[in-house]
């Protein structure tokens, strides 16, 4: 974003976003962020499937998942759906 562009906080309600969502870091919408307990996580990947923002990625080279906080909006769906209860929503 250049310094002349408005952030999403400055555009009027029902304003139209003027560029691709991949260029628009929406992660600062969140109040709560998902934090994973590595001991509890079974790497089942259900959270990857359920995240509506595609903000959880499977990293084959690590054999693990990774949250992308640039796009996570803090909806808590991943925490709700995790069968191992490995994700806790923590205040940002
Ligand atoms: S749903 Fe839970 S157990 Fe499965 S990969 Fe995600 S955090 Fe780990
Ligand atoms: S809190 Fe919502 S947006 Fe963020 S990783 Fe979980 S499911 Fe995705």
- If one counts the domains in the chain, the total is 1
* Predicted pLDDT at 10: 78
Pure H helices in 1-92: 46-50, 77-81
Q: What is the CATH number of the domain that holds 54?
A: 3.30.70.20
24 domain-assigned: no
Decide if 8 is inside a domain. no
Give the pLDDT confidence of 12-70 residue by residue, as tens digits: 777 676 777 777 788 888 999 999 999 999 999 999 999 999 999 999 999 999 999 99
Cα 79 to Cα 7, 10, 52, 65, 74: the distances in Å are: 28, 30, 13, 14, 10
Candidate from 38, 39, 45, 72 with most ligand 1 atoms within 8 A of CB, to mutate? 45
**pLDDT (0 to 100) of residue 50:** 98
Identify any residues that bridge with 90 across adjacent strands, giving them in sequence order: 33
The answer to whether residue 11 scores a pLDDT higher than 80 is no
Mutation choice for ligand 1 from 33, 39, 86, 88, CB with most ligand atoms inside 8 A: 86
Task: For residue 49, give its domain range.
Answer: 38-91
Residue with tokens 């974003």: 1
Give the global pTM.
0.84
Instruction: Average the pLDDT over 77-87 and give the result.
Output: 98
Q: Is residue 7 part of a domain?
A: no
Which atom of ligand 2 lies nearest, measured to the CA of 77?
7
Answer whether residue 12 is part of any domain: no
């Amino acid at each position: 974003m250049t310094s002349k562009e408005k952030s999403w906080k400055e555009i009027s309600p029902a304003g139209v976003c003027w560029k691709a969502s991949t260029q628009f870091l929406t992660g600062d919408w969140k109040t709560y962020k998902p934090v994973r307990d590595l001991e509890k996580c079974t790497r089942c990947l259900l959270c990857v499937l359920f995240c509506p923002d595609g903000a959880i990625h499977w990293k084959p080279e690590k054999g693990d998942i990774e949250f992308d906080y640039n796009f996570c909006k803090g909806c808590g769906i991943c925490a709700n759906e995790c069968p191992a209860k490995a994700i806790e929503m923590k205040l940002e």
